[in-house]
Chain A
Amino acid sequence: MASRKIIQSFSAFVCNIYLPGFANGHIYQGGIKALCLPGLNCYSCPGAIGACPVGALQSALSGTVLRFPFYVMGTFLAFGLLFGRLICGWLCPFGLVQEMLFGLPTRKMQKSHFTARLCSLKYLLGIGLVVLAPVLLYAAQGIGEPAFCEYFCPAGTLEAAVPLLSMNDDLWAAAGWLTVWKFFILSVFLVIMVFVYRPFCRFACPLGAWYGLFNRQAALGIAVDEQRCTHCGQCAAVCRMDVRIAGDPECISCGACRPICPEHAVYFRKLWYGKNMAEVNKN
């Protein structure tokens, strides 16, 4: 869908519209950065004008004072309820990076039962590295660490570490084993992205895992008219994600399955339409 690519590109541009940052190696410091962006977009990226929701959650759970992050959790819940994983398919800058690399003309690895099982990994990473690790480290040593961002997140390395290191000699002095590790993780993902569709999104993104929980209730996104659906499986067959049926927690609402459905049961749930959107699609 060409329109999706345009919206993805526009979203990535708007989320990182502080262009002077890419020229001078500084990050945006305006007050709007108190707002969380919907997608995975490191707030240390020189162009970022908002906070990464995962980074903000990690930050709230880290440090010397542990308290429930009401503001960040409210943001997480609001984004989930409004968009679900539509954010992954249409708004996330790192999703766009993955799709661009997958567009390189090479042989591709198809989805399988193995990749479907691997999708559970993102839930473990989300619970383990984003939530439990900072809290347990706080309990053990009195100060929490943003474990997911620090030891794993390739988006932060690509969007922040790469441009900042390339423009700031002082940061090179601070680089060490952790930098080597993070660049190793990034390199692995970048290579896999060429051959596997959205590997970070499918297997490792805690944000996608969270948003997926709201896919069936979200105000916007792909849905299936259960009365029309014959469970023929054609939506799952055409999908590059590991969905069992359109609109399930793995669905990023890209809409590729909508014209394929022989019963016209797949539709975009929109705020201004009721549940009979399938009728609208058919007519």
Chain B
Amino acid sequence: MKKGLYLIAVMLLLAGLYRGEEQMVLKKAVTICLECIGIG
């Protein structure tokens, strides 16, 4: 069960990296998100 969950975590990460999702996280994280911090 535990090993299976580790495997799922790795597969999710790899799938995300394959789709370039880390770049989407980066794009959001390097810009001040006004709505995220409640300015508006």
Contacts and interface: CB of A to CB of B under 8 A. Distances in A.
Nearest to A73: B12
A182 B37 contact: yes
B37 A164 contact: yes
B22 A165 contact: no
A204 to B, nearest CB: 15
A59 interface: yes
A70 B9 contact: no
A81 B25 contact: no
Interface stretch (A91-99, A170-178, A240-248): A170-178
B13 A161 contact: no
A158 B23 CA distance: 26
Interface residues of B, number: 34
Contacts of A72: 16, 21, 25
A157 to B, nearest CB: 6
Interface string B9-28: 11111111101011111101
Given A36-B25, A43-B29, A74-B15, A217 B2 contact: yes
Contacts of A252: none
A63 to B, nearest CB: 9
A33 B30 contact: yes
A145 interface: yes
B6 to A, nearest CB: 6
A71 B13 contact: yes
A22 to B, nearest CB: 14
B10 A74 contact: yes
B29 to A, nearest CB: 4
B16 A146 contact: no
Which of B6, B13, B32, B38 has the most chain A CB atoms closer than 10 A to its own CB? B38
Given A33-B29, A78-B13, 16 more contacts: A27-B32, A30-B30, A44-B32, A58-B36, A60-B21, A60-B24, A70-B12, A71-B12, A71-B25, A72-B25, A74-B9, A77-B5, A81-B2, A146-B36, A150-B38, A178-B38
A-B complex: 7 closest residue pairs judged by Cβ atoms: A71-B16, A182-B38, A74-B12, A74-B13, A70-B16, A71-B21, A34-B26
30 contacts: A33-B25, A33-B26, A33-B30, A44-B37, A55-B28, A58-B36, A59-B33, A59-B36, A60-B21, A60-B24, A69-B21, A70-B19, A74-B9, A74-B12, A74-B15, A74-B16, A78-B10, A150-B35, A153-B38, A156-B37, A156-B38, A160-B32, A160-B36, A171-B39, A174-B34, A174-B40, A175-B39, A179-B39, A182-B38, A217-B5
